[in-house]
Amino acid sequence: MSAPINNLPRCFGWVGLGAMGFPMASQLVHKLPSSDHQLFIYDIDAAVLQQFVQLNEHATRPNITILSSPKEVAEHSVSNRELGFSGGICRTV
């Protein structure tokens, strides 16, 4: 059962904007409901980070912030437990 859209956490994190991560994170940008949501991103390639922000800047949601490490992304983002995931597939960061 999925949570109602208004019960979503406000802060999300994404590490890795490669061949799979870039389009998946872009989908997240376009699926979040409002500009009061925050997406924290990190990738080892600074040019990819800038490209991601530029390609998604027309989206009014969410706000996108580039951070300097995966650790910072984890510190600013919701955990899997806050999203309601449990079991062996997902682990809390």
What pLDDT digit, counting tens, does each position of 36-82 carry?
788 999 999 999 999 999 998 876 678 899 999 999 998 888 764 55
Distances (CA, A) of 29 to 15, 22, 37: 14, 11, 9
Distances (CA, A) of 78 to 26, 38, 47, 66: 18, 11, 26, 16
What pLDDT digit, counting tens, does each position of 4-24 carry?
456 777 888 999 999 999 999
pTM: 0.75
Domain ranges of the chain: 14-82
Top pLDDT among 31 and 86 is at 31
Closest CA to 39 of 5, 75, 64: 64
